[in-house]
Chains A and B, each alone.
Chain A
């Protein structure tokens, strides 16, 4: 194992982590502010990816495809919030789980209806398809580096949005006391729609960015959704900072687990069984991480105990 391979894997973990952050940011805000468990968040990821694939096909521009993914998911989010989600804020978790589970069925089958059952492909633009050289003889894909940068930039923007702007202050106030900010004259309904759609748009962008590395298909959102839940539970529900730390932790644990565990077990077993044991445990590693965090901190790393 060389040091350059090791660093490359760390970068892969980082890339996976920032992508998870884009997914988790909306999820954690929606839960923190509105108290809603949204299983359908993965559908916005899928909608973003499909919109990007469609617009890349139509216009040939990757940038337009990315903007399309953001806008499409923003609208899908706003529409869902206006028609269905706002009716279930006050319901118990059970109703929310059920309704948003049903929304997954609606979105997945709807997309299958429109685009057919076959996966679509979204190509990485030529200018980003090559790799470049870093110190220590590390060769790393430009596109993945771009994802890391985009993720970090969005994290910074979100940080300023939440801590420095009026809307951010309202979001934070909404987390603390919903009735109070309503009484102070803030239009809570509008605030909810904005937060929900913005979260959906970020998920859509994440879907488009990853869609260029993997294929764009129905059901692509749900595995990521579950990872995003792991992230926000580790980070503490409602906390953007928690989502960021949790996302990087999960991204790096998962990538490094898959990379290191098989060679770790080869000290004890022969090669074939070391690979199978190593990869089995690696695929469970983030869930083990989550269970461990919850056992010691039942409301996550940065969660507020209520």
Chain B
């Protein structure tokens, strides 16, 4: 039983050390697995920002994860084949990862602005459903649009290029992802402690009161939604580079469900909750997957037990000042 800050530090330290251990014991697969954990954590903390702190249950965050992934895949595949992207513009895509990140964030923010603008007019179950519908829209579009592989997905063969670093080295790529995780954790911590963060939490508690002190909750929620979409989108971009492949499955509703499950498993409205959720999720997938083909059956059982009996998430199991 420890304090939350201490637990957070331990989580980061463990994540920091694992790839070195993996290198020492010559287990490169472990590094890849941990990279996956870090990327899913980024996607999770993006969702947790609005879900945990703003009370906005988005069931369509795969939209941003997938768009980030496809932006990366499309830019890289054009660069590799030196194909012009637009018939009116001389632009052959890019394999510069910094540029790709920038474009992914811009496009995901824009899409989040559109989806958020329409979805946030509704609330409760309608909000859950309309975000799901927007993600499904993009999913079916990615399946039926033949230019970038349609249902078969799009391979990019090599990772995109980071200045002075060989991204094909698993440890290098891991630390790029890890740095992003640290950056977002820091930014979110600052935001959540600022007056903006306070207003966002207040919107979850009582929107009428927020209105009565002269703040428009819609704007606060929209800005947060855009920010959340951009974070999850960047995770999607990293995910494409990790796998060197992107397919419509990153836009599927199962993906939205998976991101949501790891947020809730870890502990809603705890900054480091999604990381612990992702760790737990991947460990379950790996161990149960090794024991039984039907590992998802056991995953389902564990989630149900968690919902029924351990509602505050895994984080709270370790914490002294457990808030339920």
Contact = CB atoms under 8 A, between A and B. Distances in A.
Given A113-B294, A291-B134, A98 B303 contact: yes
A212 interface: no
A284 interface: yes
Contacts of B304: 84, 99, 102-103, 106
Interface residues of A, number: 44
B126 A299 contact: yes
B51 to A, nearest CB: 7
Contact of A294 (B118, B136, B260): B118
Contact of B144 (A226, A280, A294): A280
B143 interface: yes
Nearest to A101: B257
B163 interface: no
Contact of A101 (B122, B137, B147, B303): B303
- Residue among A31, A91, A98, A229 facing the most chain B CB atoms (10 A cut-off): A98
B98 interface: no
B294 A280 contact: no
A280 B133 contact: no
A274 interface: no
A229 B125 CA distance: 10
B122 A283 contact: no
Contacts, number: 124
A102 B102 CA distance: 36
Interface in B36-53: 51
Contacts of B134: 287, 291
A90 interface: no
A113 B125 CA distance: 33
B57 interface: yes
A70 B216 CA distance: 50
B300 A233 contact: no
A96 to B, nearest CB: 9
A56 to B, nearest CB: 26
Interface string A205-245: 00000000000000000100010011001000100000000
B297 A98 contact: no
Contacts of B308: 84, 87-88, 99
Interface in A276-301: 276, 279-280, 282-284, 287-288, 290-291, 294-295, 298-300
Interface in A59-104: 84, 87-88, 91, 93-95, 97-99, 101-104
Contacts of A282: 144
A142 interface: no
B128 interface: yes
Given A101-B303, A105-B303, A291 B133 contact: yes
A108 interface: yes
B307 A105 contact: no
B128 A290 contact: no
A99 B303 contact: yes
Contact of B121 (A93, A106, A222, A298): A298
- Residue among A104, A109, A229 facing the most chain B CB atoms (10 A cut-off): A109
B130 interface: yes
A112 interface: yes
Nearest to B265: A98
- Residue among B147, B268, B294 facing the most chain A CB atoms (10 A cut-off): B294
A37 interface: yes
Nearest to A31: B125
Contacts of A103: 300, 304
A182 interface: no
Contacts of B143: 283
A93 B297 contact: no
A290 B57 CA distance: 18
A112 B294 CA distance: 8
B91 interface: no
A109 B294 contact: yes
A125 interface: no
Interface string B114-152: 000010011011101110111011001101111100000
Given A280-B144, A284-B141, A226 B118 contact: no
Nearest to A288: B137
A105 B118 contact: no
Contact of A283 (B57, B144, B257, B297): B144
Contacts of A279: 144
Nearest to B303: A102
Contacts of B268: 94
A106 B261 contact: no
B130 A97 contact: no
Q: Which 9 pairs, one residue from A and one from B, show the smallest C-beta to C-beta distance?
A: A105-B300, A109-B297, A102-B303, A283-B140, A287-B137, A106-B300, A102-B300, A109-B294, A99-B307
29 contacts: A31-B125, A87-B308, A93-B57, A94-B51, A94-B264, A97-B57, A97-B128, A98-B264, A99-B303, A101-B260, A101-B261, A101-B303, A102-B299, A105-B300, A106-B300, A106-B301, A106-B304, A108-B296, A109-B294, A109-B300, A233-B133, A237-B125, A279-B144, A283-B144, A284-B137, A287-B140, A291-B133, A291-B134, A291-B137
Given A88-B308, A98-B261, A295-B121, 4 more contacts: A87-B308, A94-B51, A287-B136, A287-B140
